[in-house]
């Protein structure tokens, strides 16, 4: 995990110049930008993992449930949250627009990134709430914010890409046999007798994310 983290930090540092210069505020253009082509769904897989975490957290009600959530949220460092933001930035930066209005494009990019950024800020707040043993209501408020913002982000991508990210994320959760919410090398490659091997396309996506240090962020 430490090697993965160091690789991920190197990638973040090396590619920081690719970060989008998004406007702090964008005027309401009242229409979506015309998109010619979306990038591959690879970057969406870890993001769906966060969405899945929020879905699980929304069901937490007992003290035991909250203790489990405290452990899962506690593993997500600020560096991890920045890595998720980078995945959003990378995905947005690779969208090919066909809109003649640059203001509309700027608004589209800003809206997409804001949804992702607000979701990660809510993850941090949820982590802090759990760390202080705060009441369940305060935690669920932040969980709701995570879900709403990531749902907004996913609503702006092709439905088939969302479905691919969802399906692969669920497959990876099933591979986490020791339920530590970290996909080890062995778990990623080993297929239990009752399971099915990952299709080559899915395996390539996982390998690509793991090679740049995002393996620990696949199933938070």
Using alpha carbons, select from 95, 81, 85 the residue that is nearest to residue 39. 95
| pLDDT tens per residue, range 166-207 | 999 998 888 887 787 877 777 766 655 456 677 888 888 888
Rounded to a whole number of angstroms, the CA Rg of the chain reads 18
Give pLDDT, residue 70.
92
Residues 164 and 209: their CA atoms lie apart, in Å, by 15
Asked if residue 27 has pLDDT above 50, the reply is no
Give pLDDT, residue 208.
87
- What are the respective helix, strand and coil percentages of the chain, to the nearest 5? 65, 0, 30
Mean pLDDT lowest for which of 53-67, 91-105, 136-150, 179-193? 179-193
- For residues 38-71, one letter each, b for 16 or more C-beta atoms within 10 angstroms of the residue's C-beta and e for the rest, the string is bbebbbbbbbbbbbbbbeebeebeeeeebebbbe
pTM: 0.82
Residue length, the chain?
220
CB-CB neighbours of 117 under 10 Å: 19
User: Average pLDDT of the chain?
Assistant: 84
- Phi/psi-derived region of residue 211, left when phi > 0, alpha when psi is between -120 and 50, beta in every other case: alpha
Percent of the chain with pLDDT strictly greater than 70: 81
Asked if residue 133 has pLDDT above 90, the reply is no
CB-CB neighbours of 7 under 10 Å: 16
């Amino acid at each position: 995990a430490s090697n993965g983290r160091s690789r991920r930090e190197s990638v973040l540092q090396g590619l920081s110049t690719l970060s989008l210069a998004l406007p702090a505020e964008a005027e309401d253009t009242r229409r979506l930008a015309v998109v010619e082509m979306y990038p591959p769904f690879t970057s969406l897989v870890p993001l769906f993992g966060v969405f899945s975490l929020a879905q699980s957290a929304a069901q937490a009600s007992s003290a035991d449930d909250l203790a489990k959530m405290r452990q899962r949220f506690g593993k997500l460092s600020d560096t991890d949250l920045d890595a998720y933001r980078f995945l959003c930035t990378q995905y947005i930066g690779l969208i090919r627009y066909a809109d003649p209005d640059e203001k509309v494009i700027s608004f589209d990019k800003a809206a997409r990134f804001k949804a992702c950024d607000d979701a990660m800020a809510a993850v941090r707040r949820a982590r802090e709430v759990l760390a202080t043993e705060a009441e369940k209501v305060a935690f669920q408020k932040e969980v709701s914010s995570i879900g709403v913002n990531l749902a907004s982000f996913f609503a702006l991508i092709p439905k088939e890409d969302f479905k691919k990210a969802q399906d692969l994320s669920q497959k990876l959760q099933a591979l986490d046999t020791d339920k530590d919410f970290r996909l080890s090398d062995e778990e990623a490659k080993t297929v239990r007798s009752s399971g099915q091997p990952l299709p080559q396309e899915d395996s390539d996506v996982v390998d690509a994310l793991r090679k740049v240090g995002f393996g620990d962020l696949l199933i938070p």
